[in-house]
Amino acid sequence: MIVPGGGLSPSGNRWISCRPGFFVHVRVLSRLFRRLFVEGLLALHRAGALSFFGDLTGLSDPQAFAAYLAPLRKIEWVVYAKPPFGGPEAVLAYLSRYTHRVAISNSRLISADANTVTFKWKNYRVKSGDKRSAMRLATVEFIRRFLIHVLPDGFHRIRHYGLLSSSQRKANIAKVRALLAAQPPKQEDTSAAEDVPLTRREPCPDCGGAMRIIETFRRGQKPQSRAPPQEAAA
């Protein structure tokens, strides 16, 4: 969750900033998260969305489940907050790698067949030297781990609230920039590059020239372009 360090006044004519060096009390966050988590579990139990097996079968009873959660209301939850080392830009760059990319990129895949999948990963326990290693998993296990990163139906990867809500986001951002005398980000001029055909970095393995992209299509789609006919060998 990303929360701006301030907000618009009720009249919308003034920007109210948080205190310098202080955003929100950690204990307030701790107790807020604790309450929301416990109330969420009780709501799921009332809706019949929780299943219990083995020694926990008795928790299907609402009173038994409420008694089981009662000690959690007295435990102090740990919420650790600190300023980012690289500033807000580093935080947004870090989160964007999770919100705008898939769980694993194609460049990390080494091989795959019906039985096993081999891919590259970084071993952060290695303090020095090359941290990259290869991992081989059964195809079913690889798919299981990949699907952990897939959101269930009805969930959204990104939600916006408050002054960043979808209905008023553009107007609110423009108003905040005007109140803070902040310049909007510069838009790159792409008009000159529109006429330049897209090319690949890798040279042609036959002639060594730059390869030009003639079409892009998704997996499963039928390409519209055809390869030129092969010249007959002399």
Mean predicted lDDT score pLDDT of the chain: 82
Query: From CA 81, how far away is CA 23, in angstroms rounded?
Result: 10
Q: Is residue 50 part of a domain?
A: yes
Q: Is residue 132 part of a domain?
A: no
How many other C-beta atoms lie within 10 A of the C-beta of residue 169? 13
Judged by average pLDDT, the poorest of 66-75, 151-160, 199-208 is 199-208
Q: Is residue 128 part of a domain?
A: no
Closest by CA position to 133, among listed 120, 143, 142 = 120
Number of independent structural domains in the chain: 1
Q: Is residue 118 part of a domain?
A: no
Q: What is the pLDDT of residues 104-127, one digit of tens each?
A: 888 889 999 999 999 998 887 887
Query: From CA 81, how far away is CA 184, in angstroms rounded?
Result: 29
pLDDT of residue 116: 94
Q: Is residue 60 part of a domain?
A: yes
Q: Specify the pTM.
A: 0.46
| 131 pLDDT higher than 90 | no
Q: Retrieve residue 221's tokens.
A: 């789609």
Q: Is residue 117 part of a domain?
A: no
How many other C-beta atoms lie within 10 A of the C-beta of residue 189? 7
Q: What range does the domain containing 45 cover?
A: 24-81
Q: Are 136 and 144 in contact (CB under 8 A)?
A: no
